[in-house]
Amino acid sequence: MTLQFCPDLILTNGRIVTVDAAFTIAEAVAVYDGKVVAVGSAAEVGSQAGARTRVIDLGGRCVVPGQYDNHVHMLLAGLDALGGKAKVNIATLPSIEDILKAIAERAAVTPKGQWIGTSCMYRGALKEGRFPNRHDLDKVAPDHPVYIFQSGKNVICNSHALRLAGIHSQTRQPEEPEGWIAKDESGEPTGHLIAGAGDMARMAWWRHEGLPAKKWDFLYFDRETQIEAIAAQQAIYHACGIVGVREMGASIDELDAFIEADRRGILKTRMDIVLGLPMRYMSQDEIRTAIDAYFGPKQHVGSPMLRIAGIKLVVVNDGWWAFSKDKLRFIITELNRRGWNMAIHVNTGGGEEPAEAVLSALEEADRELPVAGRRFSFEHGFGLIRPDHIARARRLGIIFGANPLLAWYASARSLRMNEIMEQVRIAKLSEHDPWKRTVRDWGMPLRDWIDAGLTVTGGSDNPAVVYDVEQPFLCQYSALTGRTLAGILMPGQNVTREEMLRMFTANNAYSRFQEGVLGSIEPGKMADFVVLDRDIMRCDAEEVRTLGVLQTWVGGELVHDKLGG
């Protein structure tokens, strides 16, 4: 091995898990101009060092490729990570008492009449065994409109916010998007606005504030706050070994914030931005016009840190349909006709019908413009269990984006708070047995998907669930062992260590059309890697969840360091 240039960096005397085709274990890796230029033994790679080469002795430590998350809402998560500067962060608070205390503290320093919004609620079971309601929120913030961004499109709001939304005892239940206004015995709203009911409120709030609709949360923030949020969440990702993500359902103002962060050199996370049109609010003519207007940025083109990667489509969330099957077929046909890639949230909590509807729509669209090879993705994968559905997805070349971390937490809520979830209809229920419902809603047959020949990627759905820097590989651990806070949902469906690492590295790179430059430690690829405190291939399986991330490198740049390197 003789290089024609002097490497900038050599990491040596380690166990380099390359995740190449043969899953080679090397001792050293050399980097030049942000890319890997040599991988091999300590002797052969070390012989290429020059006077300007920075050499780091790993002392036998394990190195893996930088980890990628297939499904995040990074800017939303970052707003939570700002320590309450933007929204009240309740994402890790496991009790109503804690939630109300945090909201009360914000109300005490917020001018009357101004909005108070929260992060997503803790996705596990709450200590009280129920959810907060408008009466709870009224006690701590009677003079502010308050809403809890409960999860997905569900919200819990106080009486002030209900009045602004125009929702009262006589308000009809929404039909499209489907949803539910939870009411008490006297017919008064409890503050729980589920799916389409939450959409109804958001539309009214946006009109009241004079703001445009967007796909996800209600509140808007100024550009500097957005950029600060991106930087804050990026630091958490780097501390957990995450070097790249797919940002799901971004609005135009959020896209602009990422572009500006990249322009300033702040963005050190490889972003694939999947755009989000608020199609559930729109007519077919409005959707067609919006798609045409959206077709400006080129997909799969951009800087090394930022690319446009398609459009997000949510079909069924917690059992509630976002639109009719006819509208679903229309949207898929129109997006496919224009060559847009699609990330499709097929289903959570809706049984088998959504998968059938989506697959049928894709097969119909495929006859006009082939889908195979386009690397469309099914997000989360929950409910995709039937062998015939898996086979049809395989024929279409669909990638399954599994989210083990979401299953880890959400399964506990479904199992332990089943009765109250039925009362407020936080999910439309077709299965009333708590365990069967938990398995149906959150089980992932990873083994069946992989054995069927599907490409399966790994990720979290952050901030629906949060990254814990004390357990940075918890998501990978759940995939490896099949464990969740509710137990093992689908015995025998866990993956091997090699498969686990490919899910979060090479497979994610493939899903992004970047398998030639990302996802493994090989010459010619970007120098993205993570130094761990234990050997991920040889430690006990239970240790994977607490593996320590000592260093994270992105393009040969040290972005997280606990070694003082």
What DSSP state is assigned to residue 279? Answer: G
Average pLDDT value for residue range 523-537? 98
Q: Which long-range contacts (CB under 8 A, 24 or more apart) does 171-176 make?
A: 173/197, 174/199, 174/200, 176/280, 176/321, 176/323, 176/324, 176/327
- Lowest-confidence segment of 230-234, 244-248, 316-320, 467-471 by average pLDDT: 316-320
Give the span between the Cα atoms of 549 and 551, in whole angstroms: 6
Question: Any bridge partners for residue 211, and if so which?
Answer: none
What's the mean pLDDT in 364-393? 95
**Model confidence pLDDT, tens digit, residues 303-349:** 889 999 999 999 998 888 998 999 999 999 999 999 999 999 998 87
- Tokens at 220, concatenated: 């808007």
Q: What is the pTM of this model?
A: 0.95
CA–CA gap between residue 199 and residue 195 (Å, rounded): 6
Going from N- to C-terminal start, the domains of the chain cover 9-65+525-561, 87-209, 223-511
Instruction: Kindly report the number of other CB atoms within 10 A of residue 111's CB atom.
Output: 7
Binned at pLDDT 50, 70 and 90, residue 443 comes out as very high
Select the more confidently predicted residue: 427 or 74: 74
Least confident of 168-177, 232-241, 534-543: 168-177
Please give the pLDDT value at position 329.
97
b/e map 296-305, b = 16+ CB within 10 Å: eeebeebeeb
CA distance 161 to 193: 11
Residue 516 has pLDDT above 80, yes or no: yes
Which strand (E) or helix (H) includes residue 173? none
How is 77-100 classified by DSSP, letter by letter? HHHHHTTTSSSB--TT--SHHHHH
The topology (CATH level 3) of 9-65+525-561 is: Urease, subunit C; domain 1 (2.30.40)
Cis peptide before 463 (omega within 30 of 0): yes
For 374, the token pair is 């386009």
Q: Yes or no: is domain 223-511 CATH 3.20.20.140? A: yes
Distances, alpha carbon 303 to alpha carbons 126, 206, 258, 269, 270, in Å: 42, 33, 11, 11, 9
3 state SS of 501: helix
Residue 36 region by backbone torsions, left for phi larger than 0, else alpha for psi between -120 and 50, else beta? beta
Average pLDDT over residues 126-136: 95
Cα separation, 138 vs 563, whole angstroms: 48
Is the separation of the CB atoms in 400 and 381 below 8 Å?
yes
**Which regions of 252-407 does DSSP assign to beta strands (E)?**
270-275, 302-303, 306-314, 316-317, 320-321, 342-345, 377-380, 399-402
Q: Is the pLDDT of residue 21 over 70?
A: yes
Give me the amino acid identity at 396: L
Secondary structure (3-state) at 367 = coil
H or E stretch at 514: none
Our measurement of the distance from residue 227's CA atom to the centroid of its chain's CA atoms, rounded to an integer in Å, reads 19
Strands 549-554 vs 557-561: parallel, antiparallel or unpaired:
antiparallel
Q: List b or e across 280-292, with b for residues whose CB sees 16 or more CB atoms inside 10 angstroms.
A: bbbeeeebeeebe
Reading phi first (left if > 0) and then psi (alpha if -120 to 50, else beta), residue 23 is in left
Residue 423 has pLDDT above 90, yes or no: no
Per-residue confidence band for 418, with pLDDT thresholds at 50, 70 and 90? confident
The answer to whether 62 touches 532, Cβ cutoff 8 Å, is yes
Burial (CB count within 10 angstroms: exposed 0-12, middle 13-18, buried 19+), residue 487: middle
pLDDT of residue 303: 86
Distances (CA, A) of 447 to 114, 376, 492, 496, 500: 49, 20, 7, 9, 11
- Average pLDDT taken over every residue of the chain: 93
Q: Is pLDDT larger for residue 2 or for residue 542? A: 542
Work out the percent of the chain whose per-residue pLDDT is above 70: 97
Q: Which CATH architecture has domain 87-209?
A: Roll (3.10)
Given a cut of 90, is residue 258 above it in pLDDT? yes
- CA dist., res. 477 & res. 475, Å (int): 5
- Between CA 159 and CA 190 the distance in angstroms is 9
Segment 210-228 shows an average pLDDT of 90
Question: Closest Cα partner for 237 from 85, 75, 118, 89?
Answer: 75
Q: How confident is the model at residue 72 (pLDDT cuts 50, 70, 90)?
A: very high
Q: What is the pLDDT of residues 282-300, one digit of tens each?
A: 899 999 988 887 755 555 5
Nearest to 330 by CA among 364, 293, 370, 374: 364
Q: With 80 as the cut, is the pLDDT of residue 3 above it?
A: no
Q: Which amino acid is at 46?
A: G
* Tokens coding 397: 């070349």
The model's confidence at residue 214, banded by pLDDT at 50, 70 and 90, is: confident
